[in-house]
Structure 1
């Protein structure tokens, strides 16, 4: 029952946000821009996201190796792509992360290790995003008009940094709470997170891989903007897309629909981009993310992954 309520809430939020945006946008202009999209640029952006998926697989594989989980690159790529499909293509409360964990457990991993491997992959991605947001915030700060918008960006970046910092010290909670399973899980996440992310051999590499993943998203959006003929300067996309990604990490809508469009319209609007242009770009980006997820659905339907991941515990 709770899962159904959550799905309904996400659906209502996505529809509500999109409706609000459409009421304040020249929808005919947006439709015309989408009709005039250059297909070659869309396919080029799709190729960029394929590269992004390949890089994200390298990152996740490194995280799994921290737990002495070893498998071929192709098998890890399969699990990641299936998870991407469930995240993007289905209005499900199961989520791609749960699907990834399911396949890891079928391959011999414990529930605890599989969960931590997925959460720490997400955490490394968030850290790379925070580094990117913090590094581009000064550029955006100087271009925004109005103190509310300027300080809003600062608060978002500071809030994200604060959340990650708290995650790393969760195991300092009172030990008397350890009889709760969820608290024990938080202890393990904090401890393993510090071991992984502050390691000289792996931490910096994971951050660099995460930054590359997010930069590829930015490049894909730049390519889409060119395909729409918008002429948006690359600096504007560089500073706005990380914020869009940041807000999309909050699981309150269906595959980010509504949230992505709202942040894109508002963010690019402060940089002088017309709402119908920003909306067209956001919709096209959403369709691109759906397109890149579809191969994962095909892998899920046709593949057999019951013996995918071997475990080697030293």
Structure 2
């Protein structure tokens, strides 16, 4: 068991080093570090704060969705406790490959509220599938917009198209696992070498997942509202840097670029998302150095806002102390 834990730690460190290496390479060898620093130092702080506020509203919406779904399957939990759990998951997601750390949210919910982790997972897993499909659709629209603006088909566009299709297929798979009858689910998982080992665990929250699909309209509406505020976050960061990009362009670009954060090669796509941002904004006429500085500000804004998730760890610590008395 210890050997497996050590391997996970070493693997995570290697992924983190890979992300840092990409950032360092871009900063030191591709662009002028002085220009990047100047672009960041000269931002309008008020807009940066507004961006953080917009992103926090996105967190409020998604935690409300989680709270709503938990109540729908029979858990009467205070919204503030779900919010704290959600923020804890978001913070861990910011430093884990493929943002997979958000799957710790059910553990936070179980510890903080006493609700079953499998029920919390059902309230995350099924909507996540729909989120990925919608994100993939949004990314496809952004790609079409960029290609129509440049009238050319670059290699990165081909790569992004493949990634978008993979994202949509993954979302469809998650939806199928969550919402189809169990006998069909087992057939799907049985045919997939990497997933068939989890068939028993996934079937534990099948009944809750099937109940949740009745709320698909709520899930879609809250996702679109969250997307609106994420677009607003990027727009405000763009305003902070005086970028000549419209809100609609940021709204479309957001799912395309943030999809790169789900590539599990580095923590939250570190270095990969930044590279994608340089390519995407470059197609809109933004200088590479400025685009890279923008991507760093976006990641910083996300991490600083998600840092409120420390409250989940503090809450758990407080509960442990009270139970130990």
TM-score with structure 1 setting the length? 0.83
Q: Deviations over 1:194-233 (max 9, x none)?
A: 6534x3xx10220121122122112111111111122234
Question: In 1, distance between residues paired with 2:58 and 2:256?
Answer: 18
Q: What's the counterpart of residue 44 of structure 2?
A: 38
Question: In 2, distance between residues paired with 1:116 and 1:306?
Answer: 25
Instruction: Show structure 2 runs of 5+ residues with no match.
Output: 1-5, 321-325
SS at match of 1:68: coil
**Structure 1 position 74, deviation (Å):** 1.3
Question: In 2, distance between residues paired with 1:85 and 1:27?
Answer: 28
Q: What's the counterpart of residue 292 of structure 2?
A: 279
Equivalences, count: 301
1:196 pairs with 187, 191, 212, which one?
212
2:85 pairs with 79, 82, 94, which one?
79
Decide whether the 8 Å contact of 1:41 with 1:223 is kept in 2.
Answer: yes
Q: What's the counterpart of residue 270 of structure 2?
A: 257
Q: How does 1:275-314 map to 2 (within 5 A)?
A: 275-298=288-311, 300-301=313-314, 306=319
Question: In 1, distance between residues paired with 2:188 and 2:46?
Answer: 57
Question: In 2, distance between residues paired with 1:194 and 1:141?
Answer: 39
Question: Which structure features the higher share of helix residues?
Answer: 2
**Structure 1 position 306, deviation (Å):** 4.7
Q: How does 1:1-314 map to 2 (within 5 A)?
A: 1-22=6-27, 23-88=29-94, 95-98=101-104, 100-106=105-111, 107-147=113-153, 148-170=155-177, 172=184, 173-174=186-187, 182-187=198-203, 193=209, 195-197=211-213, 199=214, 202-298=215-311, 300-301=313-314, 306=319
Decide whether the 8 Å contact of 2:35 with 2:289 is kept in 1.
Answer: yes
Stretch of structure 1 that moved more, 104-113 or 217-226: 104-113
Stretch of structure 1 that moved more, 298-307 or 247-256: 298-307
Decide whether the 8 Å contact of 2:126 with 2:175 is kept in 1.
Answer: no
Question: In 1, distance between residues paired with 2:173 and 2:314?
Answer: 39
